[in-house]
Amino acid sequence: MVGNVTLVHNGIIENYSELKSYLIQKGVNFNSQTDTEVACAYINYVYENMKDFKDEDERKLKSILKACLDFRGSYAFGIIFKDTPDVIYSTRKDSPLVIGLSDEGNFIASDISAILDYTKKYILLNYMEFAKIEKDNVTIYDKNLEIITKKINEATWSATECKKNGYEHFMLKEINEQPSVIKNVYSRFFENKDENYSKVDFSKYTNIHIVACGSAMHASLIGKYLFENYANIPTTVEIASEYRYKKLLLTPSTLVIIVSQSGETADSLAALRISKENKATVLGIVNAVGSTIAREADITIYTHAGPEIAVATTKGYTTQVATFACLVINAMKQKNIKYDFTLENEYNNIDKIIQSVIDKTNEYKDIAKSLSNRNDIFFIGRGNDYNMCMEGSLKLKEISYIHSEAYPAGELKHGTISLIEEGTPVIAIATDKELYEKTVSNIKETKARGAFTIFITTEEFKDTYTKDFADITLFLPTTSLFNEAIIIVTALQLIAYETAKLRGCDIDKPKNLAKSVTVE
């Protein structure tokens, strides 16, 4: 609170030190180092100096608007003035904000799941829109402070979906939802329940840029693998925070795909906007319905994973992979590329197959025991297996706080193998027939240097497999290549989960992490 103004802020005011120096010159004192206090003080300063207004309401709204024009960065604000403690003023730029509407009162939150216990009705604000929120009334204004009418949305998620429902952690609950949400992605596609797939005409595009962050970027690597191997479309995967500042070689025949569970990730959103400014067609693969990326993409395909509460994504990632599989099948159909319909047959049983992976709890617990007291862990694999390693490694490090790295197995001997010492865990993934022997040779190289080796493969290799190089082996069901990452990564999620549990970590809320990264 500064003077007349109290506020809550989600985001970052990038030019806060400039504004702070200005305010200090004007005699304002500060109690903290935060950009939020500067935002609060600046709105208060503008408010106190605001002349030329019709009434108190206009003064408050105008001072917020004028201050916001001087802020650089991202914000969602809830603002209360001292003399009207029952009124919240609100506005946003690049940070998410929902205004929940109910008969008992109205409120603001940064995520729909936070309001579902009270209401399913909500309003979304655009940049330069302002809300005056009272117990029984919400008024929305445009940038000229004219009253406007906004659409009232109805959330499709229920409050029960946002509860643990008997599971020890949200992460475990969400891992266990994968059989049904993956089946749902496929049935929506194969039973033609989602018209958005047909809006993407792959015969128009000569190349694809997939842009995302973190696990969504890892899911995109699987997408690239499928697009290139099956639909013959050259595809690059770009990290959103890099893409937004690099030279974009976009042509009218480039399709840009932005992948985001939350639909609010700042860098992914910025990449979307830059791509659109460059006249590219943008396809969004998004989970959160009505989120900014979903709204701003030219075409949006929802993954329908339902609310994901655990910070570490699980069903968010696997539904993205399944959506890529559907898109690639569609691209093949449109380009008259023959395929053997394995996926179409497989999807009928996919829920049971994933469930059988989840049910191997004791095996995950055994692996976790061998990892939980180690400091460094390596994941190795080749081709698409390496893409899965990247997600497995991220999952493990983010929730268990054990340092881990994913390496293309053939790259180890170019440096990293020097880190392998007696007992260092190396997790090798080998699911690809063409590369199986090569990966086995690489795991043997680490075993010869003292590594504790964990070998993850599929049942089709049970006959060729020799026991001599692995301390622990995990056999998982054989599926088509379209579903392999879903199967393997589900197991890796559970290994990460059991390891973090043994270490007593705060699994659903790992330190230093936020569920949606709405700042750059």
Give the separation between CA 196 and CA 439, rounded to whole angstroms: 39
Give the separation between CA 398 and CA 229, rounded to whole angstroms: 31
What tokens appear for 174 in the block? Answer: 């969400």
What tokens appear for 14 in the block? Answer: 């990038």
The verdict on 262 binding ligand F6R (CB under 6 A) reads: yes
Site stretch for ligand F6R (CB under 6 A), options 146-154, 210-218, 370-378, 479-487: 210-218
Distance of CA 6 to the CA centre of its chain: 31
The verdict on 312 binding ligand F6R (CB under 6 A) reads: yes
487 neighbors 322 (Cβ within 8 angstroms): no
47 neighbors 59 (Cβ within 8 angstroms): yes
Indicate which single residue of 64, 216, 309, 429 sits in contact with ligand F6R (rule: CB under 6 A): 216
> C-beta of 325: minimal distance to ligand F6R in Å?
18
What tokens appear for 89 in the block? Answer: 């003023």
Give the separation between CA 481 and CA 59, rounded to whole angstroms: 61
The verdict on 518 binding ligand F6R (CB under 6 A) reads: no
> 312 vs 367, which CB is nearer to ligand F6R?
312
Give the separation between CA 314 and CA 293, rounded to whole angstroms: 20
Give the amino acid at 276: K
Give the separation between CA 307 and CA 316, rounded to whole angstroms: 9
Q: Comparing C-alpha atoms, which of 458, 365, 444, 374 is closest to residue 409?
A: 444
> C-beta of 216: minimal distance to ligand F6R in Å?
4
**By Cβ distance, which residue is nearest to ligand F6R?**
214
DSSP 220: H
Indicate which single residue of 63, 90, 106, 261 sits in contact with ligand F6R (rule: CB under 6 A): 261
Indicate which single residue of 73, 214, 306, 383 sits in contact with ligand F6R (rule: CB under 6 A): 214
> C-beta of 286: minimal distance to ligand F6R in Å?
8
The verdict on 508 binding ligand F6R (CB under 6 A) reads: no
The verdict on 265 binding ligand F6R (CB under 6 A) reads: yes
The verdict on 303 binding ligand F6R (CB under 6 A) reads: no
Size of the site for ligand F6R (CB under 6 A): 15
The verdict on 517 binding ligand F6R (CB under 6 A) reads: yes
Residues 121-180 within binding reach of ligand F6R (CB under 6 A): none
Indicate which single residue of 95, 110, 241, 268 sits in contact with ligand F6R (rule: CB under 6 A): 268
> C-beta of 219: minimal distance to ligand F6R in Å?
8
DSSP 359: T
Residues 379-398 within binding reach of ligand F6R (CB under 6 A): 394, 398
Give the separation between CA 207 and CA 231, rounded to whole angstroms: 11
50 neighbors 63 (Cβ within 8 angstroms): yes
Q: Residue for token digits 């490090």?
A: 397
The verdict on 505 binding ligand F6R (CB under 6 A) reads: no
> C-beta of 426: minimal distance to ligand F6R in Å?
22
Which residues of the shown chain bind ligand F6R in the complex (CB under 6 A)? 213-216, 260-262, 265, 268, 312-313, 394, 398, 516-517
